[in-house]
Structure 1
Amino acid sequence: CQRLGKIEGVGPVTATALIAAVGDRSCFKNGRQFAAWLGLVPKQRSSGGRARLFGISKRGDRYLRTLMIHGARAALSRATGKQDPRSLWLGKMRQRRHPNVVAVALANKNARIVWAMLTGNAAYEPALSVKAA
């Protein structure tokens, strides 16, 4: 729980709830499946070879998804004016997208980081959480 709490936007309540709900983490092959389980990925409708993406799927545990999104909103408000790579990435996203879309994108990224930390027993490294532009 304490290792997960080092991620911006994941506090002690969110970390505890995630660990309690996940149980066997081998159920997920990758972080994308974990984020999809939380309902933090776009809903997709495909027809005739054309894929259309809509809002988030809202599948999975509503409480966990709410915790992740609210944590992401808190991290967004604290990222203003900082110069670390994650804050710069959030600033660029904020210029292009609606704040709610940015919050869900950050919640998705945090979910993938949580999955990586749960499966690999690694410590959180903020510099590795965002690709260099």
Structure 2
Amino acid sequence: MCEPYVKRNKTDAADAEAICEAVVRPTMRFVPIKSVSQQTVLALHRTRALLVRQRTATINALRGLLGEFGLIAGKGTARSEDLRRRLSQADKDTVPDEARQAITSLFEHVDQLRERAETVEAEILTWHKANAASERLAAVPGIGPLTASVLIYTRN
């Protein structure tokens, strides 16, 4: 943290002196402490983002697996239902039962990820509606409730 200010060997006293030196510098920037509510909302946003990334990765894996069997659909999460439909319509010669079971379990995983992301998003919207500044910001064209809440709860 304060390595540029350390003049000699690492000791508690040397560390304390370096911290004191760093704190009085006019160019030192300080990070404000987040409130519990800020930490909560930002944790919800990070959780939702992770779930969405996992869902996208699983859909891409499904697209690749089904492409090996000649079943192709367009890109995007909305097109995953096309893949599911094509799998259900494919005969056993095209997609063997063992592969069909494995692929079906991945579709179930996508459904679970979608449901969990929607649940977290609903929690974020609850926080958004409880914050007047977030609601005002969401009234700006192009800014929705998710963007508004992350902006409001990120700033200090």
Normalising by structure 1, we get a TM-score of 0.30
| TM-score when normalising by structure 2 | 0.27
Structure with bigger RCO (C-alpha 8 Å, 6+ apart): 1
Give the strand-richer structure, 1 or 2. Answer: 1
Higher helix share: 2
Asked which structure has the greater CA Rg, the reply is 2
